[in-house]
């Protein structure tokens, strides 16, 4: 979810990342008015879960596992796709339960709901067992989360840091930092097992049959030395805000993580365009196919020109956007953008099964990019983001299979849709012109 009010955040990243740039690897709607429905369906089941009987029933079933795809070996690492909360939440909770030394969690949105409490309680249990627990959450993304929520964890010995508090009386509140957010979704256990993607820890990502919203999203699980890189960028948030814990360990050498890269967009208080550059060069070098899933598709002219140029040289370009979204104004802004791409001949699909929140790309059936980074101005310019890039045909095939599955629940955008009423068209036009601020 993209909550469009934004606030202060420490501008951090891993200054110790030393892996090679991924672009230098071997990898040389329903009908249009339906795409932009005014609101995503609300999660009605949340109130029902609050009564004691429903809570007990859902607590027994919440996050029950679904079999995920088998993992793929990438150098010294093993990676696998976790599709939706139905696969990601049980895997993350199982990793927390098996922690022996340390748990580092950096999360944009932690809900004051069934899912958020389930993860908090799991962290409390490990802290009571003597495991070091470090949690960072965003002040705007977790706007409804009060400090009292974390009292059980801090009393158990865990450490909690709010990044970019919205209350002016908070010590780390900075008015001029309002646009900057910590939008990452990272969990690292013992420096050996890590998760990175688009899922937040909130009821919206819980399967509908378990009382949640069933939002569509992706998470990548990594087992191996690359987990240390995700740990490094998560730990540096603490360091940049003046805390000396947890200690930052040295990142693995490049040869330990061939064909797998952890990408952060801000390094040591300086903007870093590594994610943007990876996206752009991958699109420019694509020779056969580009498949992109993105919930807030508002890129700048440079990226749009690269997509059109890829189409012109014969690359099959497919873009999957939300049919139902959680941000109405952003969808209005997307209206003109996807209209132009569709008229240019690029295939645009509107996902209709649930709210689409995944941020994944597959290029030439071998290069995969997945993480928290949206193709919009805030992700490129302001937000702390983390992505994982993988150059592997087998892993790309698994991601492509998931993409094709999503297309079966989507409708291709038609190019001959009559324009909406003039008032709505005007709002959409204005939203597109000011998409940098959405």
At residue 416, the pLDDT reads 57
DSSP state, residue 224: S
At residue 163, the pLDDT reads 81
Q: How high is the mean pLDDT in each 10-residue block of the chain (438 residues)? A: 39 33 43 33 34 40 61 94 98 98 95 96 98 91 85 96 69 57 93 97 96 96 95 85 66 70 72 84 97 92 95 97 74 79 94 95 97 82 88 97 97 70 54 52
Question: Distance (Å, rounded) from C-alpha 20 to C-alpha 65?
Answer: 35
Give the pTM.
0.81
At residue 242, the pLDDT reads 66
At residue 274, the pLDDT reads 86
Residue 149 structure tokens: 């929520």
Angle, alpha carbons 267-161-218 (nearest 5°): 65
- Quick count: other Cβ atoms within 10 Å of Cβ 245? 11
At residue 413, the pLDDT reads 87
Domain boundaries, given as residue ranges, for the chain = 22-437
- Cβ neighbors of 155 (< 8 A, separation 6 or more) are none
At residue 36, the pLDDT reads 33
At residue 288, the pLDDT reads 98
Classify 22-437 by CATH class. Answer: alpha beta
């Amino acid at each position: 979810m993209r909550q469009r009010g934004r606030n202060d955040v420490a501008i951090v990243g891993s200054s110790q990342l030393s892996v090679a740039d991924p672009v230098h690897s071997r990898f040389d709607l329903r009908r249009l008015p339906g795409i932009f429905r005014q609101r995503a369906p609300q999660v009605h089941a949340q109130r029902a879960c609050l009564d004691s009987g429903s809570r007990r029933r859902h607590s027994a079933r919440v996050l029950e596992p679904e079999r995920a795809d088998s993992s793929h070996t990438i150098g010294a690492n093993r990676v696998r796709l976790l599709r939706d909360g139905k696969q990601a939440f049980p895997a993350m909770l199982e990793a927390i339960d098996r922690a022996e030394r340390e748990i580092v969690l950096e999360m944009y949105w932690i809900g004051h709901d069934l899912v958020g409490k389930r993860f908090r309680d799991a962290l409390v249990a490990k802290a009571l067992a003597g495991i070091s627990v470090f949690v960072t959450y965003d002040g705007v993304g977790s706007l409804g989360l009060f400090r009292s929520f974390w009292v059980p964890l801090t009393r158990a010995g865990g450490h909690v840091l709010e990044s970019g508090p919205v209350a002016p009386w908070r010590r780390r509140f900075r008015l001029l930092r309002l646009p900057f957010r910590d939008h990452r979704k990272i969990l690292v256990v013992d420096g050996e097992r890590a998760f990175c993607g688009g899922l937040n820890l909130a009821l919206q990502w819980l399967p509908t049959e378990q009382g949640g919203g069933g939002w569509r999203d992706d998470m990548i699980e990594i087992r191996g030395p690359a987990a240390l890189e995700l740990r490094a960028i998560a730990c540096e948030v603490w360091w940049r805000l003046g805390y000396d814990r947890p200690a930052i360990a040295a990142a693995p050498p490049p040869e330990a993580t061939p064909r797998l890269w952890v990408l952060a967009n801000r390094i040591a208080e300086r903007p870093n365009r590594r994610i943007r550059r990876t996206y752009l060069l991958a699109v420019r070098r694509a020779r056969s196919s580009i498949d992109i899933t993105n919930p807030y598709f508002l890129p700048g002219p440079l990226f749009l020109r690269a997509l059109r140029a890829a189409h012109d040289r014969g690359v099959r370009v497919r873009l999957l956007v939300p049919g139902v979204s959680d941000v109405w104004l952003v969808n209005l802004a997307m209206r003109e953008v996807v209209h132009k791409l569709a008229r240019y001949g690029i295939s645009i699909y509107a996902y209709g099964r649930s709210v689409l929140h995944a941020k994944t790309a597959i290029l030439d059936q071998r290069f995969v990019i997945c993480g928290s980074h949206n193709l919009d101005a805030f992700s490129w310019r302001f937000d702390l983001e983390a992505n994982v890039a993988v150059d592997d045909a087998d892993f790309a095939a698994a991601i492509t299979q998931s993409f094709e599955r999503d297309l079966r629940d989507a409708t291709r955008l038609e190019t001959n849709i009559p324009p909406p009423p003039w008032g709505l068209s005007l709002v959409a036009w204005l939203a597109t012109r000011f998409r940098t601020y959405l």
